[in-house]
A and B are shown apart, each in its own frame.
Chain A
Amino acid sequence: MAKSWRFLIPLIIFGALVILLVIGLGKDPRKVPSPLIGKPIPEFSLPELTDTGRTLVDDDLRGQISLVNVWASWCSSCRQEHQALMVLSENPDFQIVGLNWKDDAQDALSVLRMTGNPYDRIGYDPDNDVGIEWGVYGAPETFVVDQQGIIRYKHIGPVDRKVWEETLQPLIAQLKAEG
């Protein structure tokens, strides 16, 4: 009957949704491998948020270990990790580079004024030009980049003490030892 098969449509849509959720469940959302891991950082050039006269380029991430943190003022999870970043910003082993993503410069600057600025430098990427190159699909995300400019790790979701102690800190110690 041609009439009755359309009543199956909701069930089919739900089936597709379940498949999607199963895939999502199988992967820890905080450990999604990025195709860029092990690859050199993409070339880029961005105006700096705090001083648009200056530019932040890929070479600025070479020569020392960097945490590249993707954030935005509209992102509530970014607020959650902000305090952790403030603490980490005192660590001399690495620099923290912000990628202010899909954001309004005024909003972003007022966030920093209100809650402090944990970043050594911040690239301003309102149109997702660099975010796309880095495979960013949400905020917050944090990339670990080694001294040679190779992306070594990508963390999705807020950085907290647990993430730092269990994942980031050992990795950074290892990178430091590699020199």
Chain B
Amino acid sequence: MIPELGHIALILALLLATAQAVFPLAGSLTGNRPWMTMARPLAYGQLVFVAIAFLALVEAFLTSDFSVHYVAVNSNSLLPDIYKFSAVWGGHEGSLLLWALMMAGWGAAVAVFSRYLPLPVVARVLGVMGLVAIGFLLFMLLTSNPFERLFPVPPEGRDLNPLLQDPGLAIHPPMLYMGYVGFSVAFAFAIAALIGGKLDAAWARWSRPWTTVAWVFLTIGIALGSWWAYYELGWGGWWFWDPVENASLMPWLVGTALIHSLAVTEKRAAFKSWTVLLAISAFSLSLLGTFLVRSGVLTSVHAFATDPERGLFILLFLCVVIGGSLALYAWRAPDVSEGGRFDLVSRESALMLNNLIFVAFTVLVLFGTLAPLIYEAFNLGKISVGFPWFNKMFVALAPFLALLLGIGPAARWKHDSPWRLTKMLWLAFALSIVLLALSSRESISGGDFWVPIGIALAGWLLFSHLTIVRDRLKHKKQPLWQALKADFSGNGRSFYGMVVAHLGVAMFIVGVTMVSNHQIEKDLRMSPGDSHEMAGYRFEFLGAQKVNGPNYRADRGHFRVYRGDRQIAELYPEKRSYLGGGMPMTEAAIDAGFFRDVYVSLGEAVGGGDWALRLYYKPYVRWIWLGAVLMALGGTIAVSDRRYRSASVRSSAPAAAATAPA
């Protein structure tokens, strides 16, 4: 009964989304005020019904209702409750439902936090979001109904994919989807602005916090996925250039470009049509990622379900949404004024270069991901793109981005003099050169020239940003620390958010550089009682024994790790066989630290109590994810900037007059 209620709730949500797409949009074009005011209640209503559907599915999972096909395929009565809950989005249908829930949630959030926006803008933004929601709800109801019943009812479910039975992966998809769907808000603002023909600084200021929040979620989601791959796949790698990973990276890259270009549009009213194009692209790439993952066009470990019929639907949906918005763009963008002019040496130029590099990254990832399709389409068939190709391309471009990143925030808007910049940054540059020289020594670099380059670039980011902060505060009378505190609690939030995020980049660079060039891995065969020295740590293997988990059996190894004579960790790596079947899973055991991880992963039993196993020493690997956390934190700080709350009052009056229908 409850699954049917969920199904009906979905249908009702579709009806409400349709109304939300039709009336407010039509109202905003004809000047029909009552129709426009329908936008908010409809957005709330849509959220209520999608939430009911979602809860109905949660209930089916928690009660192990295997008469529901989706539950039978993705759950098992032995599954711990927490994974029964996360199994809701462990497969295709449930993932879509989560997407729809978040989409409705973002819509309702826009409805709540848009009190200062002019009504036609609210109506258009919510209308566009309604259009997108129609696509997703229709897709679910027509091709991927999560509430479909199964007869005869199986006595037991097939179990959740063991890879997904993990806390990291339980929260990874929701974060990622929050990011994907969040870009729909930036998209809706852009489309609304194109429809209204009014692209101005106020528009940029409205979209900025939404875009940044979506970007923060996406950043965390991607970092979680990377962290999960690191400890769960048992290979110690943190990025694989898998099509699904690439699908999440592309919107992130464009989203990062968008955040920066929105800054220019807000402050200088420049780059307007470019910013709109980026907003459309960020969401389009989120949709494209969904298509690539769901349609089976590309094969990948992550692909939950592959089905050409679904692929065709998403492709049609893509054509309508992306094709439609790009057509609108081609029609309206030529009328957009060019905006403020700027000189060659200016912050605008730096941000333009930033955008070019990010777009180049995106194009490379898109090309690499689609390469198999491209070659097939043209019957070239003989060239291939793999992991090494992506790495080479990124390592070639990234240093330029890092160099630029130290200069851009120091430059003034509109016009700056190279001489002033040199005077300001020479010390930071000189310190980085010293760092380069110090880290070139064999004992640090290990003979690899990328190590000093990476460290010097990270140092450059740190020193230049410290300089920039000091420069900002140099006219303040108070001591530096108090001035910093006053500025931070005053109007400086978005500035300090930027600084924190950029320091996150520095941290990320150190992590990637060190772990790529200095990690040590050893494959060993060990007998119980054996010890092995590696990177100053001694690993003692005490043997392995069989243990039973709730829904798996495992061999669990026992290790003691010593540094000198002192025991620093006991590690229990596991090799699990889930009762539901499938391949055995490695659960690596990790002793995590700020400066290094030591990592043990169990291989095969090779007889007589001996095991093949793998030991890793991973210096600075945490810095990769901590860097991402800092970036996300920076975004969060920036969003809390005062002007997003108070300035909206200031800007709404003239903007309302301007966007009023003709």
Contacts and interface: CB of A to CB of B under 8 A. Distances in A.
Interface of A: 1, 3-4, 7-8, 10-11, 14-15, 17-18, 20-25, 27-30, 32, 34-35, 72, 74-77, 79-80, 82-83, 102, 109-110, 113-116, 128, 131-132, 135-139, 156-158
B617 to A, nearest CB: 15
B373 A136 contact: no
A23 B311 CA distance: 12
Interface string B498-521: 000000000000000000000001
8 contacts: A14-B322, A30-B299, A76-B240, A77-B301, A79-B301, A115-B603, A137-B381, A138-B386
A114 B329 contact: no
B583 A83 contact: yes
B603 A114 contact: yes
A105 to B, nearest CB: 13
A22 B289 CA distance: 15
B373 A20 contact: yes
Contacts of A15: 323
Given A72-B386, A137-B382, A10 B372 contact: no
Contacts of A7: 273, 329-330, 333-334
B523 to A, nearest CB: 4
A143 to B, nearest CB: 14
A121 B34 CA distance: 75
Interface stretch (B4-12, B312-320, B547-555, B620-628): B312-320
A80 B235 CA distance: 13
A137 B377 contact: no
Interface stretch (B173-181, B290-298, B418-426, B489-497): B290-298
A24 B299 CA distance: 12
B603 to A, nearest CB: 4
A23 B377 contact: yes
Contacts of B372: 29, 137-138
A7 B381 CA distance: 33
Given A76-B233, A135-B381, A137-B382, A24 B329 contact: no
Nearest to B583: A83
A114 B382 contact: no
Given A10-B329, A27-B376, A35-B381, 6 more contacts: A14-B323, A28-B296, A29-B296, A75-B387, A83-B584, A114-B613
A146 B149 CA distance: 45
A102 B297 CA distance: 23
Specify the main secondary structure of chain A where it touches its partner.
Answer: helix
Contacts, number: 133
B329 A29 contact: no
A138 to B, nearest CB: 5
A6 to B, nearest CB: 9
Closest 7 CB pairs of A and B: A4-B334, A157-B299, A114-B603, A74-B387, A83-B583, A11-B326, A137-B384
Contacts of A21: 291, 297, 315, 318, 373
Interface of B: 233, 235, 237, 240, 242, 273, 277, 280-281, 284, 291, 295-301, 308, 311-312, 315, 318-319, 322-323, 326-327, 329-330, 333-334, 370-377, 381-384, 386-388, 521, 523, 583-584, 601, 603-604, 612-614
Nearest to B234: A114
B377 A24 contact: yes
B362 to A, nearest CB: 12
Given A35-B381, A110-B521, A156 B299 contact: yes
Specify the main secondary structure of chain B where it touches its partner.
Answer: helix
B315 A22 contact: yes
Nearest to B331: A7
Contacts of A28: 296, 308
Nearest to A6: B334
Contact of A114 (B299, B300, B374, B612): B612
B377 A113 contact: no
Nearest to B297: A24
A157 B299 CA distance: 6
Contact of A77 (B299, B327, B370, B601): B299
Choose among A76, A116, A138 the residue with the greatest number of B CB atoms under 10 Å from its CB: A76
A114 to B, nearest CB: 4
B312 to A, nearest CB: 6
A178 to B, nearest CB: 28
Nearest to B522: A110
Nearest to A81: B583
Contact of B326 (A10, A24, A72, A116): A10
Contacts of B308: 25, 28
A34 to B, nearest CB: 8
Contacts of B521: 110
A18 to B, nearest CB: 6
Contact of A29 (B297, B330, B601): B297
B374 A20 contact: yes
A8 B327 CA distance: 7
Given A22-B315, A77-B301, A135 B329 contact: no
Contacts of B312: 25
Contacts of A137: 371-372, 375-376, 381-384
Nearest to A22: B315
A109 to B, nearest CB: 8
Contact of B384 (A27, A136, A158): A136
Given A29-B299, A113-B612, A24 B319 contact: no
B319 A18 contact: yes
Nearest to B525: A113
Nearest to A131: B384
A34 B301 CA distance: 23
A116 B604 contact: yes
A139 B386 contact: yes
Contacts of B382: 132, 135, 137
A115 B612 CA distance: 9
Given A11-B329, A14-B326, A20-B373, A110 B334 contact: no
A14 B240 CA distance: 27
Contacts of A35: 381
Given A23-B373, A24-B376, A102-B388, A11 B327 contact: yes
B160 to A, nearest CB: 16
A76 B375 CA distance: 21
